């Protein structure tokens, strides 16, 4: 396909102008190792499902599962929900790609080239393609893929995007639906309410052993012990390596003499300014701006504070917040008129008006520094730190290579590596994901690597800014259902909290019933010594202090005005409320708001329509015998990963 890059005049087709944006946006998400490739597995893989002539294999599923868990930070307790989703997603993906091919929605070489030009513009500087080597290097560095794998993943995404557009392009939103949605979003309500907190019953609740056991049996899924792992590892730490690095004064001076240009200071000035813009203004308006600038100049010369005037009047919003200060500028950084005046001023001096293409400037010189070579004494400590950093990185790389080679030789007997490379080997027993490791910390990349590695496989070096770690997993205790004795304190507390919530709910129901009968929430609340609070007007997507999100009070927008609603469960609180008022902020929707609402509704309906299409496609292919799912194998795999 590389010959396509040589054309400088070809333009993107209309359809790609529409679909490129979503595909490029999703590229970083979908084109990650193990997910987007098109490689088929070996015949030794267990086949979990067949879609047409393609297979969903155990190897592909396991790879996608690992990537999903790692990228989404899925807790071990949720694996049982994720695993079947992964299998279904792979089946649906293959079904959609085959349907796209059947409908003639394949991706041409030209479309692929156009998409790459749009998504990776730096590869096409000056209109020409920089070359296959640069392309391959970028793809490997950013996506850890070869060019064929990368392009196959793009083709897949683009084909599915085309299919989605075909299915959803006809989705529309009528005026009545739009008006209804606008009213739903803009209607506001005002309530008075009381909160019955479960905390009120603290100390009034006792739980028996039988209640604890019953709570545990009813909520076993909540008491799962996460996967734990035992590890052996060694840490190559920059701080410790620095102790071994000796730097002499001669080393520092040699570095200084070999890199003198690095320590040259350019002619520079630290400036503050007030800018009054004239861009896109007519001549009469420019005259008014100039008059205002002259007035500000008079105020400055009369002693008014320059920084305060900049904050109040400067059109440079960024520097205005800092009293007009723009920091250090060097020659060549600013437009000629600005530079000429700035570098002719002395510290403390204020300029006359300076006219540039942006408008009128008032300049004040704060500091001036002439071009010079910093003396060795001034930069010696900086050089020392840089050399320490460079040499410790070099040392770390050498030690890491030695340790890695030795670790590959000894495997699970990693303790033998220590004497060979002169580093201690640390051991931890059955730690949970996220727990910090002594001397190694809890760097996410390190933890992810250790908790996705197979037992006995040497991992690393895993590099962080301060250290490198080489490790081996020596034991894995899978996630499992806890026994009651292992979580007794937690279950007892949960049982107590549940009982307190039940008491709060019973009390709130009493209050609600009495308030409905009396038609007066305040009187009933007073009898129970509870405070009645009144909210401000809130929308469905708003919030009410003391209650929470407005969505929890949805009946405030549908129940009878002045009616009593509740109790509403809000975590530790039970809310009972009375609807005081409802209103619309305005009579009709503004055109911009209508446009935004319509776009959002269309997007939502398109998503819903595509989900329905995917479900129907899956069922149709199953009826036609084109999807075969080996459920026993799937269940076995799900169980192993749940």
Q: Could you read off the pLDDT of 10-43 as tens digits, one per residue?
A: 323 323 333 333 333 233 222 222 223 333 333 4
- From CA 482, how far away is CA 480, in angstroms rounded? 6
Find the largest Cα–Cα distance for the chain: 93
Q: What is the CATH number of the domain that holds 99?
A: 1.10.4030.10
Q: Is 15 in the same domain as 103?
A: yes
Q: Is 25 in the same domain as 160?
A: yes
For residue 19, the model assigns a pLDDT of: 34
The answer to whether the bond into 567 is cis (omega within 30° of 0) is yes
The answer to whether the bond into 357 is cis (omega within 30° of 0) is no
For residue 489, the model assigns a pLDDT of: 93
With tokens 């009898």, the residue in question is: 527
* pLDDT confidence tier of residue 331, bands split at 50, 70 and 90: confident
Domain termination site, one of 566, 584, 602: 584
Across the range 382-393, mean pLDDT stands at 80
- From CA 91, how far away is CA 84, in angstroms rounded? 11
* Residue 353 predicted with pLDDT over 50: yes
Q: Could you read off the pLDDT of 101-136 as tens digits, one per residue?
A: 899 988 888 888 888 877 777 677 656 676 777 788
Measured torsion, CA atoms of residues 194, 196, 197, 200, in degrees rounded to the nearest 10: 120
Q: Is 428 in the same domain as 472?
A: yes
Across the range 54-75, mean pLDDT stands at 74
For residue 137, the model assigns a pLDDT of: 78
Percent of the chain with pLDDT over 70: 88
Q: How far is CA 626 from CA 50, 59, 96, 290, in A?
A: 7, 21, 13, 77
What is the residue range of 195's domain? 185-201+487-584
Q: Is 306 in the same domain as 361?
A: yes
Q: Is 29 in the same domain as 159?
A: yes
Q: What is the CATH number of the domain that holds 340?
A: 3.10.50.40
Is there a domain that residue 276 lies in?
A: yes
Is there a domain that residue 433 lies in?
A: yes
Centre a 10 Å sphere on the Cβ of residue 293 and count the other Cβ atoms it contains.
22
Mean pLDDT of the chain: 81
Q: Could you read off the pLDDT of 186-215 as tens digits, one per residue?
A: 888 899 999 999 888 888 888 999 999 999
Across the range 424-442, mean pLDDT stands at 87
Is there a domain that residue 604 lies in?
A: no
For residue 45, the model assigns a pLDDT of: 52
* pLDDT confidence tier of residue 449, bands split at 50, 70 and 90: confident
Centre a 10 Å sphere on the Cβ of residue 606 and count the other Cβ atoms it contains.
17
Least confident of 42-46, 71-75, 267-271, 436-440: 42-46
- What values do phi and psi take at 588, rounded to 5? -135, 160
Q: Is 421 in the same domain as 570?
A: no
Q: Is 232 in the same domain as 156?
A: no
Q: Are 319 and 326 in contact (CB under 8 A)?
A: yes
Domain termination site, one of 305, 337, 370: 370
Q: Could you read off the pLDDT of 512-523 as tens digits, one per residue?
A: 999 999 889 999
Number of domains in the chain: 4
Q: Is 320 in the same domain as 242?
A: no
Q: Which residues is 275 bridged to in the sheet? A: 361
- From CA 50, how far away is CA 294, in angstroms rounded? 79
Least confident of 81-95, 541-555, 609-623: 541-555
Q: Are 219 and 498 in contact (CB under 8 A)?
A: no
Radius of gyration for the alpha carbons in the chain, expressed in angstroms and rounded:
34
Across the range 408-416, mean pLDDT stands at 84
Is there a domain that residue 209 lies in?
A: no
Q: Is 397 in the same domain as 435?
A: yes
Dump the DSSP string for 79-141: HHHHHHHHHHHHHHHHHHHHHHHHTT----HHHHHHHHHHH-GGGGGGGS---HHHHHHHHHH
DSSP state of 204: S
For the ranges 119-123, 167-171, 183-187, the maximum mean pLDDT occurs at 167-171
For residue 71, the model assigns a pLDDT of: 64
Q: Is 327 in the same domain as 423?
A: no
Is there a domain that residue 458 lies in?
A: yes
Is there a domain that residue 253 lies in?
A: no
For residue 509, the model assigns a pLDDT of: 94
Across the range 341-369, mean pLDDT stands at 89
Q: Are 1 and 151 in contact (CB under 8 A)?
A: yes
Is there a domain that residue 257 lies in?
A: no
Q: Could you read off the pLDDT of 463-498 as tens digits, one per residue?
A: 877 788 888 899 998 888 889 999 999 999 999 999
* Residue 642 predicted with pLDDT over 60: no
For residue 143, the model assigns a pLDDT of: 74
- From CA 342, how far away is CA 374, in angstroms rounded? 23
Q: Is 27 in the same domain as 147?
A: yes
- The helix or strand, by DSSP H or E, that contains position 64, with its residue range, turns out to be helix 58-72
* Residue 307 predicted with pLDDT over 80: yes
- The helix or strand, by DSSP H or E, that contains position 54, with its residue range, turns out to be strand 54-57
Across the range 317-340, mean pLDDT stands at 85
* Residue 454 predicted with pLDDT over 50: yes
* pLDDT confidence tier of residue 268, bands split at 50, 70 and 90: confident
* Residue 67 predicted with pLDDT over 90: no
Q: Could you read off the pLDDT of 214-267 as tens digits, one per residue?
A: 999 999 888 888 888 999 998 888 777 766 777 788 888 888 888 887 887 778
For the ranges 32-36, 90-94, 110-114, 333-337, the maximum mean pLDDT occurs at 90-94
Q: Are 433 and 227 in contact (CB under 8 A)?
A: yes
Least confident of 2-6, 105-109, 579-583: 2-6
Q: Is 407 in the same domain as 521?
A: no
For the ranges 188-192, 279-283, 392-396, the maximum mean pLDDT occurs at 188-192
Is there a domain that residue 601 lies in?
A: no
Does this model's pTM top 0.75?
A: no
């Amino acid at each position: 396909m590389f010959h396509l890059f040589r054309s400088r005049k070809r333009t993107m087709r209309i359809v790609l102008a529409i679909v490129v944006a979503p595909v490029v946006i999703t590229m970083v998400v979908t084109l990650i190792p193990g997910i987007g490739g098109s490689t088929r597995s070996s015949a030794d893989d267990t086949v979990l499902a067949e879609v047409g002539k393609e297979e969903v294999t155990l190897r592909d599923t396991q790879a996608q599962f690992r990537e999903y868990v790692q990228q989404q930070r899925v807790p071990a307790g949720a694996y049982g929900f994720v695993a079947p989703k992964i299998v279904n997603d792979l089946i649906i993906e293959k079904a959609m790609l085959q349907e796209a091919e059947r409908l003639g929605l394949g991706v041409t070489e030209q479309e692929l080239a156009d998409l790459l030009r749009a998504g990776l513009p730096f590869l096409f500087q000056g209109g020409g393609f920089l070359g296959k080597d640069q392309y391959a290097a970028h793809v490997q560095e950013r996506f850890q893929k070869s060019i064929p794998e990368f392009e196959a993943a793009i083709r897949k995404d683009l084909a599915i995007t085309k299919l989605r557009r075909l299915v959803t392009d006809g989705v529309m939103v009528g005026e009545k639906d739009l008006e209804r949605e606008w009213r739903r979003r803009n209607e506001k309500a005002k309530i008075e309410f009381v909160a019955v907190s479960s905390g009120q019953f603290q100390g009034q609740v006792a739980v028996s052993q039988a209640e604890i056991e019953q709570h545990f049996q009813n909520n076993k899924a909540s008491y799962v012990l996460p996967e734990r792992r035992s590890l052996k590892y060694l840490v190559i730490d920059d701080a410790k390596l620095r102790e071994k690095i000796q730097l002499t004064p001669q080393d520092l001076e040699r570095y200084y003499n070999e890199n003198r240009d690095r320590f040259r200071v350019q002619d520079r000035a630290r400036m503050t300014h007030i800018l009054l813009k004239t861009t896109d203004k007519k001549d009469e308006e420019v005259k008014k701006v100039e008059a205002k600038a002259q007035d500000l100049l008079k105020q400055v010369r009369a002693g008014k504070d320059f920084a305060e005037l900049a904050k109040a009047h400067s059109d440079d919003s960024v520097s205005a917040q800092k009293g007009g200060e723009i920091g250090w500028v060097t020659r060549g950084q600013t437009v000629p008129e600005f530079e000429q005046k700035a570098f002719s001023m002395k510290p403390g001096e204020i300029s006359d008006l300076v006219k540039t293409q942006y408008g009128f400037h008032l300049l004040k010189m704060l500091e001036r520094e002439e071009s010079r070579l910093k003396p060795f004494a001034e930069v010696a400590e900086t050089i020392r730190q840089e050399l320490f950093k460079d040499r410790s990185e070099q040392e770390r790389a050498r030690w890491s290579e030695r340790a890695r080679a030795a670790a590959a030789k000894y495997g699970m007997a990693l303790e033998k590596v220590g004497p060979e490379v002169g580093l201690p080997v640390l051991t931890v027993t059955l730690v949970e994901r996220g727990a910090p490791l002594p001397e190694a910390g809890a760097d996410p990349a390190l933890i992810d690597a250790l908790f996705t590695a197979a037992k006995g496989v040497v991992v690393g070096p895993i590099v962080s800014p301060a250290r490198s770690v080489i490790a081996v997993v020596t034991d894995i205790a899978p996630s499992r259902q806890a026994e009651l004795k292992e979580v007794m304190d937690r279950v007892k507390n949960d049982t107590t909290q549940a009982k307190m919530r039940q008491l709060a709910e019973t009390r709130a129901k009493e209050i609600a019933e009495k308030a409905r009968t009396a038609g007066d929430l305040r009187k009933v609340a007073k009898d129970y010594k509870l405070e009645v609070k009144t909210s401000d007007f809130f929308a469905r997507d708003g919030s009410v202090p003391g209650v929470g999100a407005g969505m929890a009070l949805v009946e405030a927008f549908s129940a009878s005005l002045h009616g009593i609603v509740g109790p509403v469960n809000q975590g530790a609180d039970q809310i009972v409320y009375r609807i005081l008022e409802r209103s619309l902020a305005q009579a009709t929707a503004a055109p911009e708001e209508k446009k935004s609402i319509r776009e959002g509704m269309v997007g939502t309906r398109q998503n819903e329509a595509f989900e329905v299409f995917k479900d129907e496609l899956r069922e149709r292919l199953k009826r036609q015998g084109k999807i075969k799912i080996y459920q026993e194998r799937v269940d076995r795999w799900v169980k192993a990963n749940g």
